[in-house]
Chain A
Amino acid sequence: MKRTVPLILTFLVGLFMVGEYFIPHYRYRIWTAEFLEWGVILAAAAFVLGLINLIQVNLPKVLKRERDWGYKLVMLIALAVTLVAGFTAGEHRDGPSVYKWVYDYTFVPLNATMFALLAFYIASAAFRAFKARNLEAALLLGAAIIVMVARVPAGESLPVIGDYLPRFMNWIMDVPNIAARRAIFIGAALGAVATGLRVILGLERSHLGAD
C-alpha cells in the first residue's frame, strides 16, 4: 500500500503526460497543463517544507546558544522581516514599501557582490590551474584567453590581430563551443529520456525514499 499506490500513480500520471505527444487534442492539452500547474503548486509547497526544516534546524541552535548562534539569529530575523514586509506589501510590492527597500538596498547588492567575489577566486584558481602542460590544457587556456581578451576594448585595439580577435572569439563560441554543447545536450536528453522511462515503469524508485 505505502509503495504500491505511489508506484501506480507514477505509472498512470507518467503515461497520461506522455500521451499528450500522441493525442494533440486541445482538451487533452487542458488536462496536461492542469497537471503541470499542480506540479508547480506542489513545488511551491515543497519550498515551504524547506522553510519549516530550516527553522527546525536553526531555531533550537539559537535557543541553546550553540556555536555561531548569533549568525543564525540574524538569518532568522532577516527571514522573518522580509516575509512580514513581503506579505504586508502584498500586491503593491513593487511600489514604495519596506519590502522594496529590502530588495533594492540589501538583496540586490548582496547578490551581485556574492557573484562578483567569484571573479577574484576564479582568477586566482585559473592562475594556479592553467598551465599548458599538454595540448588539451593549451587549448583550454588559449580559448579562455581569446574570449577574455576579445571581450574588452583593449583586445580590439591590439595591433594586427585586434580586428580578427572578436571574430575568432565569435567563431569559437559559435562552432567548437556549440559542437561540444550540443553533444552534451544530446547526451543529457538521452539520459532524461531513459530516466523518464525508468521512473514511469517503476524501475527507478529512489524518489519514493526508503521504507
Chain B
Amino acid sequence: MEPSVLSSLDIAGAWVSIALTLGIFSFLYADNPVYKLAEHLFLGISIGISMTEMYYGVVRPNLIDKLAAGNVLSVVPLVMCAMLFARLASKKLGWLARIPIAFIVAAYAGVKLTGEANGNLMTQVAQSMPNLAELWRDHGIWDWSADGAGVFSGIFLVVGLSACLLHFYFSARQGPTMRGISRFGVLVLMLSFGASFGYTVMGRISLAIGRAQELLGLDKPAEEAAQIHPQLASVVCGVLVIAFLVVWRLRGGGAEQEEAA
C-alpha cells in the first residue's frame, strides 16, 4: 500500500483544527477573546451545518422533490410553512402562524398520547416484572459471573422502582411508612444519579483524551502525522495563544470578569 499524500488543504485543515482546539481550551485560563472567537465560529458553523442538513435531509426529499413530482398534497405543508412566516410579513397576519403551530403540537400530542402510554408506560412496567423462578434457576440469589444477576437483583429492581415512584407520589399524606419507602426511593435515585454522573465524566474525559491525542498526532497514521507535524502545530499554536493571552492581560483584559467575581 502506498503512503497517502495529504493535500496542502488537508494539512492546513489539521493546523486549523489544532489552533481551534487550543483556542477553546484557553477558556480554562479565563473567558478571553481567543475563546470567544472560536466559540462564535463554532456557533455560526454549527447553525450553517444544521440548516444545510435540514434542507437536504428533510425539506428537499419531503417537500421540494414531492412538489416537483406533482404531489398535490405537498401544497398543504408548503402553505403551512408560509403561514409560519406570516408574522414577518405583517403583524396583523401574525395569528396565522398559530395554525401550523397548532397542527404540529396536536399531531405530536396525539402520537405521544398513545405512543407514550403504549411504548413507555406499559413496556416499562411489563419489563420491570422479573421471572423470579427463572432467575433462581439460572443464577440463584446472586451470581457474580453474571454481573450480580439473581433473585436479589430482581426483587431490588421491583422494590427500587416502586419506592422511586412512591417518592414522586404527592397525592397521599406522608406518614411514617410512606416516608420510609420514599427514603429508600431517594437512596436508589442517588445511586442512579451517581452512576450517571460517573458515566458522563468518563465520556467527557475520553473526549478530552481524544483531543489530546489529536494535539500530539497520536490519532493519525504515522505517514499522515509526518506530513502534518501535529506536535509542531500544537507548540506553535499554543505559544501564539499564550502570547496573545499575556498581551491581552497586560492591556487590562479580563478586569471586568475579576470585578464581577
Chain A positions near chain B (C-beta within 8 angstroms) = 2-3, 5-7, 9-18, 20-21, 32, 34-49, 51-52, 54, 68, 71-72, 74-83, 85-87, 90-91, 93, 99, 101-120, 122-123, 126, 135-137, 139-148, 151-152, 164, 167-190, 192-193, 195-197, 199-200, 207-209
Contacts and interface: CB of A to CB of B under 8 A. Distances in A.
Given A117-B25, A175-B156, A193-B117, A39 B108 contact: yes
Contacts of A182: 124, 127-128, 161, 164
A175 B153 contact: yes
Interface SS majority for chain B:
helix
22 contacts: A13-B103, A40-B62, A44-B58, A49-B84, A49-B85, A71-B37, A82-B45, A106-B17, A107-B42, A110-B20, A118-B204, A119-B205, A147-B194, A169-B195, A170-B148, A176-B188, A176-B192, A182-B164, A184-B164, A196-B113, A200-B113, A209-B98
A107 B110 contact: no
Given A105-B14, A167-B144, A93 B56 contact: yes
A189 B117 contact: yes
Given A45-B81, A71-B40, A109-B17, A183 B185 contact: yes
A87 B52 contact: yes
Contacts of A42: 77, 80-81, 84, 100, 103-104
Nearest to B81: A45
Contact of A102 (B45, B161, B185, B211): B45
B190 interface: yes
A53 B241 CA distance: 33
Given A103-B49, A105-B13, A208-B101, A117 B106 contact: no
B44 A139 contact: no
Interface size band for B: 35 or more
A177 B103 contact: no
Given A3-B98, A105-B17, A140-B197, A117 B36 contact: no
Contacts of B187: 135-136, 139
Contacts of A80: 44, 48
Contacts of B201: 119, 122-123, 126, 144, 148
B157 interface: yes
B105 interface: yes
A143 B198 contact: yes
Given A38-B80, A114-B24, A175-B156, A82 B40 contact: no
Main secondary structure of the interface of A (DSSP, over half): helix
Contacts of B46: 107, 110-111
Contacts of A173: 195, 199
